[in-house]
């Protein structure tokens, strides 16, 4: 009986260590969840960088079309590309692109 009473604190502390160890590894703020969240943050930062680059490109295009700084060459280029027409005096060179792999 005395030997059982001596083991009770050891069993209690072992159970506490196992409980807190499990939650430190698998819990809501555990190490494994931290890795998942870190990966999600990296993906979101990559998407943000892509969105910022796209926004900057669109801002440059919009700036070229503003009436106070209108770039007529750019307007002509965009009209030609969108309407798929060319001036009769323009030379059109068809370049075959290699197949993309």
pTM (predicted TM-score):
0.53
Residue 74: CB atoms within 10 A of its CB come to 14
Query: When comparing pLDDT for 41 and 5, which is higher?
Result: 41
Domain ranges of the chain: 2-83
71-100 pLDDT tens trace: 778 778 888 888 888 778 877 777 877 776
- Report pLDDT for 43: 97
pLDDT single digits (tens) 7-49: 888 899 999 999 988 888 888 888 888 899 999 999 999 999 9
**Where do the H-state alpha helices sit in the chain?**
2-26, 31-65, 72-83
The Cα 21–Cα 55 span in angstroms is: 46
The pLDDT of residue 101 is: 58
């Amino acid at each position: 009986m005395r030997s059982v009473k001596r083991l009770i604190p050891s069993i209690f502390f072992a159970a506490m260590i196992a409980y807190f160890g499990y939650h430190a590894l698998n819990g809501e703020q555990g190490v494994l969840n931290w890795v998942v969240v870190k990966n999600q943050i990296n993906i979101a930062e990559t998407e943000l960088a892509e969105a910022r680059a796209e926004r900057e490109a669109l801002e440059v295009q919009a700036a070229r079309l503003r009436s106070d700084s209108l770039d007529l060459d750019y307007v002509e280029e965009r009209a030609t590309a969108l309407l798929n027409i060319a001036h009769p005096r323009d030379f059109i060179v068809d370049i075959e692109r290699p197949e993309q792999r």
